């Protein structure tokens, strides 16, 4: 497990621009993974679960309560972007939560995150908005948009 937290944190450190304040710290990840409702996926550049001791190029973190699942985080290291890896990982997330009985998958993103292209490509639709929900590193605020996918 420690090894998987290391692999998640390595992708986290590379993938999230500190400006947006979206990255989780190691303690937040460790605490989340103690909960049985939390699931995660690791992938290497080809979309396979990385072999033991090998770095990950992408990860996703989910939470599920009964038939409702939430995508908490998804990230691909910058050098592997734009080649379909984010899509592969999100498809793996969808299959995993569906397999555990989810009927809906939710996610929340800051308004204007380019990840919206990926979410819409897989069928997510916007279902809500929280004004000024995110506080950025420079103190400014951005709306959160909630997307949902019926499974």
Spatial neighbors of 150 by CB under 8 A, at least 6 apart, are 103, 104
> According to the binding rule CB under 6 A, does residue 121 interact with ligand COA?
yes
CA distances from residue 122 to 4, 139, 150 in whole angstroms, order as listed:
27, 32, 11
Residue among 70, 80, 119, 134 flagged as catalytic: 119
- Closer to ligand COA by Cβ: residue 21 or 30: 21
Phi and psi torsions of 38, nearest 5°: -90, 135
Residue in the shown chain whose Cβ atom is closest to ligand COA? 86
What three-state secondary structure class fits 128?
strand
Q: Pick the catalytic residue: 22, 108, 116, 133?
A: 108
Provide the b/e sequence for 47-84 (b: ≥16 CB within 10 Å). Answer: beebeeeeebbbbbbbbbeeeebbbbbbbbbeebeeee
Among 33, 45, 118, 151, binds ligand COA (CB under 6 A): 118
Residue closer to ligand COA, measured from CB, 102 or 147: 147
By CB under 6 A, which span of 24-32, 37-45, 113-121, 130-138 interacts with ligand COA?
A: 113-121
Whole-Å CA distances, 77 to 34, 123, 141: 25, 23, 26
For residue 134, what is the enclosing H or E element?
strand 125-135
> Residue 16 or residue 133: which is nearer to ligand COA going by CB?
16
Among 8, 41, 56, 75, binds ligand COA (CB under 6 A): 75
The stretch near ligand COA (CB under 6 A) out of 2-10, 26-34, 117-125, 134-142 is 117-125
Binding region for ligand COA (CB under 6 A) out of 28-36, 45-53, 73-81, 132-140: 73-81
Catalytic residues: 108, 119
């Amino acid at each position: 497990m420690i090894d998987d937290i290391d692999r998640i944190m390595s992708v986290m450190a590379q993938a999230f621009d500190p400006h947006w304040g979206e990255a989780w710290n190691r303690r937040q990840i460790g605490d989340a993974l103690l909960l049985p409702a939390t699931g995660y996926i690791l992938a290497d550049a080809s979309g396979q679960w990385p072999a033991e001791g090998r770095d990950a190029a992408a990860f996703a973190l989910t939470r599920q309560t009964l038939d409702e699942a939430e995508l908490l985080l998804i990230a691909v290291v910058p050098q592997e972007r734009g080649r379909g890896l984010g899509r592969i990982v999100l498809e793996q997330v969808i299959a995993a939560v569906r397999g555990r009985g989810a009927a809906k998958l939710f996610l929340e993103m800051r308004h204007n995150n380019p990840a919206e292209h990926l979410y819409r490509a897989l069928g997510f639709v916007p279902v809500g908005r929280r004004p000024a929900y995110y506080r950025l590193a420079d103190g400014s605020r951005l709306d959160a948009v909630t997307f949902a996918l019926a499974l």
